[in-house]
C-alpha cells in the first residue's frame, strides 16, 4: 500500500533554466549554450549543491579550471539572481496538492544548494510537504545511497510504501534498487498513469 510520495525538485516541480539568467545579463546565444554547460551542469556546480564549496569557492574553482573565461564567470556569479533561474512547474505543483488532499504524505528528495533551497521555499507547494532531504544538508547527491537511506530513516518510511518521482533515470534505478517504487518524470500524464496503476494494484 502506497502511503508516501517523494518528489524531486529540478525537472519535476521546479524548472531549472540558467539560460534565462544568462540571457538576462546579456550573454550571446553562443555564450549561453557554452556557460550553461560549463557553470550550471559541471562538476563544480554539483559540488556546490552538496555543500562541498560555497558560491565564492565555486566561482574560484571554475576560474581555476577555465581561466580563459574568468571575466564571464565573474559576471555570472556577481549578484546571481535565482528569480531568473528557478520557475515553479504549476501543473506538477497542483498534482502534488491533489495527492496530499487524497491522504498521501509528501516529501522532497533533491540535489540543490542552500541558496537555491532558500529561494525555492517561497513556492506554495512547500506548505503541503512533510519534510525533505537535500544534497546540501547531507553532503552527497543522488544516486548516492546515503540520500535515499537518510530520507527513509529520518521520516521512518518503508520503501515498499514509498513512490519516488524524478526526471533522471539513474536516480529512479537507484530508488528501485533500494526497494522504493521509482517513477521517471517524462510527462506529468505518464506519472499520473503510473501512480494510478499503483493505486489500483492496492485495491
The neighbour count for residue 116, using CB atoms within 10 Å, is 23
The domains of the chain are located at 4-15+86-202, 18-84
> Which three-class secondary structure state does DSSP give residue 51?
coil
Per-residue confidence (pLDDT) for residue 89, from 0 to 100: 98
Average pLDDT over residues 146-155: 98
183 in the Ramachandran plot: left (φ > 0), alpha (ψ -120 to 50) or beta?
beta
Residue 192: DSSP 8-state: H
pTM attached to this predicted model:
0.92
Q: Summarize pLDDT for 72-116 with one digit per residue, the tens.
A: 999 999 989 999 999 999 999 999 999 999 999 999 999 999 999
Neighbouring-strand partners of residue 66 = none
Question: Using 50, 70 and 90 to split pLDDT, how confident is the model at 156?
Answer: very high
CATH class of 4-15+86-202: alpha beta
Per-residue confidence (pLDDT) for residue 202, from 0 to 100: 60
Question: Using 50, 70 and 90 to split pLDDT, how confident is the model at 199?
Answer: confident
Neighbouring-strand partners of residue 30 = none
Spatial separation of the C-alpha atoms in residues 75 and 111, rounded to whole Å: 24
- Phi and psi angles of residue 108, each rounded to the nearest 5 degrees, phi first: -120, 140
Amino acid at each position: 500500500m502506497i502511503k508516501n510520495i517523494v518528489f524531486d525538485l529540478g525537472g519535476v516541480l521546479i524548472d531549472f533554466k540558467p539560460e534565462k539568467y544568462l540571457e538576462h545579463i546579456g550573454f550571446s546565444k553562443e555564450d549561453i549554450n557554452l556557460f550553461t554547460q560549463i557553470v550550471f551542469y559541471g562538476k563544480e556546480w554539483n559540488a556546490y549543491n552538496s555543500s562541498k564549496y560555497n558560491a565564492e569557492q565555486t566561482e574560484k574553482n571554475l576560474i581555476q579550471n577555465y581561466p580563459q573565461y574568468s571575466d564571464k564567470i565573474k559576471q555570472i556569479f556577481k549578484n546571481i539572481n535565482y528569480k531568473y533561474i528557478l520557475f515553479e512547474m504549476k501543473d506538477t505543483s497542483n498534482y502534488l496538492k491533489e495527492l496530499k488532499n487524497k491522504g498521501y504524505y509528501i516529501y522532497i528528495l533533491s540535489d540543490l544548494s542552500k541558496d537555491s533551497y532558500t529561494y525555492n521555499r517561497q513556492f506554495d507547494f512547500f506548505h503541503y510537504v512533510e519534510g525533505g532531504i537535500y544534497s546540501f544538508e547531507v553532503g552527497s547527491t543522488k544516486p548516492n545511497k546515503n540520500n535515499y537511506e537518510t530520507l527513509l530513516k529520518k521520516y521512518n518510511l518503508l520503501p515498499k510504501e514509498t513512490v519516488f518521482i524524478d526526471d533522471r533515470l539513474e536516480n529512479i534505478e537507484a530508488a528501485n534498487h533500494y526497494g522504493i517504487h521509482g517513477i521517471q518524470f517524462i510527462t506529468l500524464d505518464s506519472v499520473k498513469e503510473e501512480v494510478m496503476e499503483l493505486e489500483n494494484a492496492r485495491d
